[in-house]
Amino acid sequence: MKAVVYEGPRHVSVTTVPDARIERHTDVLVRVTTTNICGSDLHMYEGRTDFEPGRVLGHENLGEVVEIGDAVDRVKVGDMVCLPFNISCGFCANCEQGLTAFCLTTNPTPGLAGAAYGYADMGPYNGGQAELLRVPYGDYNCLVLPEDARERQTDYVMLADVWPTGWHATMLACVQPGDTVVVYGAGPVGLMAAYSALLRNASGVMVIDHHPDRLAKAEEIGAIPIDDSRASPVDQILELTQGMGADRGCECVGFQAHDPEGAEHPNMTLNNLVRSVKFTGNIAVVGLFLAHDPGGRNDLYKRGQVAIDYGTFWSKGQTMSTGQCNVKNYNRQLCSLIHEAGARPSWIVSQELGLDDAPKAYAHFDARDKGWTKVVLHPNGAA
Ligand SMILES: NC(=O)c1ccc[n+]([C@@H]2O[C@H](COP(=O)([O-])OP(=O)(O)OC[C@H]3O[C@@H](n4cnc5c(N)ncnc54)[C@H](O)[C@@H]3O)[C@@H](O)[C@H]2O)c1
Ligand SMILES: [Zn+2]
Ligand SMILES: [Zn+2]
């Protein structure tokens, strides 16, 4: 099968690799029709993780079931399914609690919890930027989509990661109707956090970035765009909130947060959040941070240590919640919002391309080139 293979820093190729196949009785085999490139892929693409050359990327996957293992009961050949980026078992202590991002059995590396397709440190599983994908524990992991799935793939594929993750940010930040919410980052995840906060009746959502095209996307849904290259984002938030700060904050950037000139400061968005969220406010961090970052700019960052303004955070009585999204907690309800209630998360899609265009798409998306907000690939031809 054809697949997008990581070759080394800033180098992916579209190559022929052995076909994905059923390996265990509980597996499902999916012919991938739609798969996204994610900001998380870029950390791997840039060589900032332990992702091994030769592996297939892609954790935001949707497609048609073409084969099922002997022990699969619920999912049928021909079903259109969207796969949470988390690979989880359903029977461990964490999965039982809905904490599928921290599954205790699917990541074979001792000391690590949680697995994903084509992802550094999250198990040996190949990704779905390929013609075929093996889905472990298929009955548990497949979200079977409604009858309009084939026509609305760019909406439903957002259920694999970015929409649940944006929603998760608003849950971790305890967004209530009437709240003001500040979102750092107008990439796909930040845009989905803003979308989710508005759906949850926030009274005002402010989105910070320095890419005008991404800020314009935020404005399209009624969020207030804030350009951090013009003035301090903290000052701009304080001005909009009578000096109090926003009720809730969402970090949707991660350890490669940088100033508008491009210099990385992994503590930048965290400290900006501490300053631009109110006393006792909640901060959710869904942007990715690493346990160690050999490519970091100084020794502290290399050890995965981030210097946050803990004293200010403490004296403001704030709460910070973090981590990967437990996609299965939300994907069924968000699917209903698409199917029944007119939600259109595909509004972030900027390009729909074939698999062969992946190297070009990675380069443009990585450069955050104007107009490259969210790339959707169709490995088996037009959807
Ligand atoms: N927790 C999870 O389950 C989960 C899931 C998906 C993605 N992620 C992570 O979320 C983060 C965002 O993903 P994405 O796909 O939107 O990525 P992205 O890289 O496309 O978007 C990040 C945005 O942040 C902006 N930015 C950089 N520095 C900033 C700063 N100092 N202030 C404000 N904005 C700044 C960038 O300009 C960019 O537009 C990544 O770290 C990704 O790995 C986490
Ligand atoms: Zn993703
Ligand atoms: Zn589990």
For residue 165, what pLDDT band results from cuts at 50, 70 and 90?
very high
**What's the whole-number mean pLDDT along residues 312-329?**
98
Residue 68 CA, ligand 2 centroid: distance in Å? 25
At residue 223, the pLDDT reads 98
The CATH class for the domain spanning 162-322 reads alpha beta
Q: How far is the CA of 124 from the centre of ligand 1 (A)?
A: 24
Question: Can you tell me the mean pLDDT for 180-191?
Answer: 98
Ligand 1 binding pocket mutation candidate from 40, 42, 348 (most atoms within 8 A of CB): 40
Across residues 106-133, what is the average pLDDT? Answer: 97
Helices (H), 66-161: 93-96, 138-141, 153-156
Query: Do the domains 2-161+326-378 and 162-322 sit in the same CATH topology, yes or no?
Result: no
Q: How far is the CA of 58 from the centre of ligand 3 (A)?
A: 21
Token couple for 94 = 């964490």
Q: What percent of the chain has pLDDT over 90?
A: 97
Give the CATH architecture of domain 2-161+326-378.
Alpha-Beta Complex (3.90)
- pLDDT number for residue 297: 85
* 228-244 pLDDT tens trace: 999 999 999 999 999 99
More confident residue, 243 or 292: 243
Q: Given the CA of residue 265, which atom of ligand 1 is nearest to it?
A: 31
Q: Is the CB of 276 under 6 A from ligand 1?
A: no
Cβ atoms of 5 and 15 within 8 Å: the answer is: yes
Contact 366, 42 (CB under 8 A): yes
Instruction: Say if ligand 1 is within 6 A of residue 368 CB.
Output: yes
User: Residues in the chain, how many?
Assistant: 383
Lowest mean pLDDT segment, chosen from 134-143, 190-199, 222-231, 292-301 = 292-301
* Three-class secondary structure assignment of 174-234: CCCCCCEEEEECCCHHHHHHHHHHHHCCCCEEEEEECCHHHHHHHHHCCCEEEECCCCCHH
Condensed to tens digits (0 to 9), the pLDDT of residues 31-48 reads 999 999 999 999 999 999
Is the CB–ligand 1 distance for residue 286 below 6 Å?
yes
Q: Does the structure show a pLDDT above 90 at 18?
A: yes
Does residue 261 register a pLDDT over 90? yes
pLDDT band at 130 (very low <50, low <70, confident <90, very high): very high
For the chain, give the percent of residues with pLDDT over 70: 100
C-alpha 24 to ligand 1 mean position (Å): 35
Residue 383, pLDDT score: 59
pLDDT tops 90 at residue 143: yes
**Nearest bound ligand to the CA of residue 94:** 3
Give the start-to-end residue ranges of the domains of the chain: 2-161+326-378, 162-322
Protein residue with least CA distance to atom 29, ligand 1: 257
Confidence of residue 189 (pLDDT cuts 50, 70, 90): very high
pLDDT of residue 298: 83
3-state secondary structure of 344: coil
Give the pairing type, strands 375-378 and 180-184.
Answer: unpaired
Q: Choose which residue among 57, 167, 189 to substitute to test ligand 1 binding: the one with the highest number of ligand atoms within 8 A of its C-beta.
A: 189
Cβ of 250 closer than 6 Å to ligand 1, yes or no, is no
